[in-house]
Structure formats: C-alpha cells, structure tokens
Amino acid sequence: MSAELSIAQIIDTIIPHPAGRSDLIPVLQKTQATLGYLPREAMMAIAEKLGLHSSEVYSVATFYNQLRLTPPGRQQIKVCLGTACQIKGGKIILDSWKRELNLEEGKTSADREYSLERVACVGCCAMAPVTVVNNRIEAKVSPTRVKGILLDFELQKQKHNGEKKHK
C-alpha cells in the first residue's frame, strides 16, 4: 500500500458503499489484509463509516483469533496445534520455534522480522505436525527442520542485503 494514502482514505477504498453492521467482519478482514493489522485509527474510521460505536468495533476485533491489533512480522510463523499435530509432538515444535526465535507465542520480534503464533488447526492433519510459514504449509516439521527454515531465511536476507549493497 502506498505511503501517501491516509488510513481513512484506505478505509474509504475498502468500503465504498457502507451497508451496516453485517459488513463489519469482512471489512475488518480486508483492512487487515491491506495493513497487516488493525491500528486504532483504522478501527475508528471503520466505526464512523458503518455508523457503529468504536467500542463495538473493538469488541468484535478482539473477539476473533484472526484479527490482530499489533503488526505481524515480515515472516509469519503459525504453528498448528490441532489434535493430530499435538499427538505428533506439535508442542515440541512450538517450543523449538520459541527457542530458536527467542520469542513468546503471539509476539513479534523487536525488528519486526518474525512473528510467532499458534493456530488451532489448519486442517492438514494427515501431514502432522505442520507449521504455516508465510501461508505455505510445511509438512512433518521436526526441530531440525525449524532450524533449517530459519537458516534459509537468514541466508536469503544476507543475499538480499548483499545485492542491495552491490547496487
């Protein structure tokens, strides 16, 4: 999203024709898809557009797991802890991510590079334990695979930085 648009303008493009309360959840989802999260200003603008009190928007935004009030990391790690993943050691995988990233679940690293979340079930139980890394499902994850995925990210970043310097 271009930096010139204000949050209110972005909300305008998301809801050109406000209908009312029934639009609230889809609008929050679209706003999050655009901005990455739901900043306070966006929730205020949505409330005004839909004719709701801002507390009503906040109440809904905080109820649903998908909606987040803080920015995610550039690399989003979602560890599945559905039953099948749990049975196959999902907790060990979550612990590995926590340890390797030095992050608690639900948090974003200080440099906003990584965010770590747990999800209830992504419905990919046959491939348990799984982790969703940037919307891609990693099947049959092990603690060593966790290290491997992170190493890959670091190498890509180094390469990227190297290329930038070159230019």
Partner 1 sequence: MAKRNTNKSAQVAFERLYKKSVSARSETSPNERIHITIGTATCGRAAGAPDTLQAFRDEIARRNIDVTLTEVGCRGYCYAEPMVVISKPGYPPICYGYVTPGVAERLVNDFIISGDPCLEFAIGALEENELIPAIFDQPRFKYEKRNLLRNCGEIDPDDIDQYISAGGYSALAKALDMSPQRIIDEIGKSGLRGLGGAGFPAADKWQLCRDTPSDMRYIICNADEGDPGAFMDRTILESDPHSVIEGMALAGYVIGSSKGYVYVREEYPLAVKRIENAIRHARAKKLLGGDILGSGFEFDIEVFQGAGAFVCGEATALIASLEGKRGWPRPRPPRNAVQGLWDKPTLINNVKTLAYVPLVIERGAAWLAGIGTDDSKGTAVFALAGKVRNTGLTEVPMGTTLRHIVYDIGGGIPNGRKFKAVQIGGPSGGCLPEKLLNLPVDFDSLSHAGGMMGSGGMVILDEDNCMVETARYFLEFTHNESCGKCTFCRLGTVQMLDILDDITRGKGKTDDLKLIEELAKDIKEGSLCGLGQSAPNPILTTLSYFKEEYEAHIVEKRCPAKVCPELTATYIVPEKCERSCDACVGTCPTEAIFTGKSGIKVIDQEKCVKCNTCIAACPPQYKAIIKISPLSELPQAERRPATKGSNDR
Summarize as ranges the residues that interact with partner 1 (CB under 8 A). Answer: 20-26, 28-29, 59-60, 63-67, 81-89, 92, 95-96, 99-100, 119-128, 130, 135, 137-139, 142-144, 146-147
Query: Are 71 and 36 spatial neighbours (Cβ–Cβ below 8 Å)?
Result: yes
73-111 CB burial, b ≥16 within 10 A, e <16: bbbbbbbbbbebbbebbbeebbebbbebbebeeebbeee
Report strand pairing: 75-80 vs 114-119: parallel
Nearer to partner 1, 116 or 130 (CB): 130
Nearer to partner 1, 5 or 87 (CB): 87
First to last CA, the chain: 25
Q: Which residues contact 68 (CB under 8 A, 6 or more apart)?
A: 32, 37, 38
Nearer to partner 1, 71 or 143 (CB): 143
Give the whole-angstrom CA distance, residue 74 versus residue 153: 11
Nearer to partner 1, 8 or 132 (CB): 132
